[in-house]
Structure 1
Amino acid sequence: MVKEWQLELPTLLISVHGGLQNFDLPPKLKQVFGRGLIKAAVTTGAWIFTGGVSTGVIRHVGDALKDHSSKSRGKVCAIGIAPWGIVENKEDLIGKDVTRPYQTMSNPLSKLSVLNSSHSHFILSDNGTTGKYGAEVRLRRQLEKHVSLQKINTRESCDPAAAPPWCFAVLPGLGQGVPVVCLILEGGPNVISIVLESLKEEPPVPVVVCDGSGRASDIISFAHRYCEEDGFSRRAEVKPHRKQ
């Protein structure tokens, strides 16, 4: 990536996960999510990893990137890692060392998804399957691990006064690897698994969860709020949430 795309090594890798189906966010939360993500990327020189296609959480990331590009000349490095078999109009992308036009307007009758045009780069993973996710999971996990092992000096390249607190808190010093942060917005059961895998990494990958975005994010936030460090719930503080 550094060689072929002429990218500079990031001082932070923000890996965004969440729901793959389209979902709405409260306007205030959408604004906070978008501005916080872009601020973290700009002030630290971060790379943003997403699933690449223009649906679900990736669509919200794309909206934030689009809003930023309309107000600033600064380019944010957002890399979409998607399965080849889920991409609509993928035949337009076949070729080597050529420039090809790509149609980003989606067909409402298609079960495939178009790439999100607000991203700067894409990596497409092909395992022979069509119309389903999964081909990209192992590649993305291994790539994130590889990037995290690259040695950098983050303290000299990041302004602590400008970066969000959650972002600067994970930045190491001289000669350390690239820190990774997992950012969660909405999501289903697979996102809960991703959070668990992130926390089981050595060292653990910090996870930032957007409470109020729905589904997995709200479940994780609720569990964190009402659990002690040993994993047991604070039973006296938990009120029944089952509808009568």
Structure 2
Amino acid sequence: MAESWIPKVIKKRVCTTFVEDTSSNGARCQCGGPREIHDSAATGDNFEAITVTKWDSQQHSSEYPTDAFGELEFAGAGRRLNHFLRLSCDTDPQVIYNLMTTHWGLPIPNLVVSVVGGVGHEKIEPWVRNILRKGLVRAAQSTGAWILTGGLRESVSRCVGEAVRDQGAVASAVSQKKVIAIGVAPWGVVHNRQQLVNPQGSFPARYYAQKATNAIRCLDNSCQAFLLVDNGSVDQQGGETIFQANLEDFISHQRTGICGSGNIEIPVLCILISGKACMLEVRKLMH
């Protein structure tokens, strides 16, 4: 396939050092994964001689060729295909930006709106939903913006997804541009992520998003593309944060302009909804 070069360039991360989670009686690593998914080298005597108190992605995981990329089809949601990629948290953002615009064919944005906020079952007030639907998404459509969202069917990400779907239906009816939504999520929390694994790439992978209320970490089919950021952890939030901040910073130094004039740096707007101010701290450190 045309994307067969991807595993040579894009990597995933795998935990290579078992650092015991003491609350699990030795059954789990601090990366979140059970002992049995770690290979013999990771759990061998050579590591038991080393005193390690806290698991760290940089020190205790290693990069290998990615094994999840291509296109996915949401079962029961029609034939529309979505791009996806599992990538190491250390991936060069320039490589990913070029992949999205050149190989995936996403239009260069005139604006990037990054929406961060609550996770899980956190309730979002109705007035916030209305602002997302009537303000954010319409503005993104009219300006030719990308919306970066969590990409999962939970909390703020779910609300953004609902607003994008609603506006997408309107756009189809009146021949307007559809909103470009890009989901940036931690690989290790995605429900049914094994359905996406294929070392040769999937064209497409068939993804089943469960409707059960406890399956909130399913991918949201409102997104045209998914960047599934891998820091080697399992069932732990936040592994995508630094990569996303680096990507936003890179995009903010690219140029766009009316009719392709290319003389305006792409503005990046970060919106915090139903979350803590610390969620924005890493972005402050980038500037």
Q: TM-score range by the shorter chain?
A: 0.5 to 0.7
Give secondary structure in 2 for the equivalent of 1:9: coil
How much has 1:104 moved relative to structure 2?
Answer: 1.6
Instruction: Pick the aligned partner of 2:278 from 176, 193, 213.
Output: 193
Deviation of 1:103 (Å)? 1.1
Question: Distance in 1 between the 2:286 and 2:233 partners?
Answer: 29
Q: Which residue, 60, 64, 70 being the options, matches 2:169?
A: 70
- Equivalent position of 1:91 in the other structure: 194
Partners of 1:131 and 1:196 lie apart in 2 by 23
Give the aligned partner of residue 228 of structure 2. 124
SS where residue 270 of structure 2 aligns?
A: strand
**What is the distance in 2 between the residues matched to 1:20 and 1:91?**
22
Q: Is 1:134 matched with 2:238?
A: yes
Counterparts of 1:155-170 in structure 2 under 5 Å?
A: 156=258
Paired with 1:22 and 1:13, the residues of 2 have a C-alpha distance of: 26
Deviations 1:104-124 (A, max 9, x none): 2244456x7101111111011
SS of match in other structure, 1:20: coil
Residue 101 of structure 2 aligns to a residue whose secondary structure is coil
RCO higher in 1 or 2 (8 Å CA, sep ≥ 6)? 2
> 2:60 maps to which residue?
none
Instruction: Give the Å deviation of 1:134.
Output: 2.1
Distance 1:57 1:128 in 2: 25
Please give the alpha-carbon distance, in whole angstroms, between the structure 2 residues aligned to 1:29 and 1:48. 16
Structure 1: gaps of 5 or more residues: 158-172, 203-244
Check if 1:10 corresponds to 2:115. no
Distance 1:130 1:147 in 2: 28
Aligned to 1:183, the other structure's residue is in SS state strand
**AA matched with 1:4:** H
Selected match of 1:143 from 230, 240, 247:
247
Q: Distance in 2 between matches of 1:123 and 1:146?
A: 15
SS state of the match for residue 120, structure 2? coil
Structure 1 residues 92, 180: CA separation in 2 closer, same or farther (over 3 Å shift)?
A: same
Q: Which residue type is aligned with residue 50 of structure 1?
A: T
Contact 1:125 1:136 in 2 (8 A): yes
- Does residue 176 (structure 1) correspond to residue 264 (structure 2)? The answer is yes
Indicate the larger mover: 27-36 or 94-103.
27-36
Contact 2:113 / 2:147 at 8 angstroms: preserved in 1? yes
Q: Is the alpha carbon distance of 1:105 and 1:99 closer, same or farther for their aligned partners in structure 2, counting shifts above 3 Å?
A: same
Change (3 A) 1:33 1:108: closer
Using structure 2 for the length normalisation, give the TM-score: 0.58
* 1:100–1:25 CA distance, 2 compared to 1 (3 A): same
Take 1:89 and 1:6, find their aligned partners in 2: how far apart are those partners?
26
In the alignment, is the contact (CA less than 8 A) between 1:19 and 1:56 conserved in 2?
yes
Distance 1:176 1:201 in 2: 20
Q: Secondary structure at the residue paired with 1:105? A: coil
Q: 1:26–1:130: structure 2 CA closer, same or farther, 3 Å change rule?
A: closer
Distance in 2 (alpha carbons) for counterparts of 1:177 and 1:186:
29
Say what the alpha-carbon RMSD is for the aligned residues. Answer: 2.3
Moved more, 133-142 or 67-76: 67-76
User: Closer, same or farther in 2 for the Cα pair 1:91/1:35, shift >3 Å?
Assistant: same
User: What residue identity is the alignment partner of 1:132?
Assistant: Q
Asked if 1:105 is matched to 2:190, the reply is: no
Partner AA of 2:204 in structure 1: T
CA distance in structure 2 between the partners assigned to 1:134 and 1:200 by the alignment: 16
State how far apart, in whole Å, the 2-side matches of 1:90 and 1:106 are.
16
Identity across matched positions, percent: 32
The answer to whether the Cα contact below 8 Å between 2:195 and 2:206 also exists between their aligned partners in 1 is yes
Which structure dedicates a bigger proportion of its chain to strand? 2
Give the length in aligned residue pairs: 182
TM-score, structure 1 as length reference: 0.68
| Partner Cα distance (1:122, 1:174) in 2 | 26
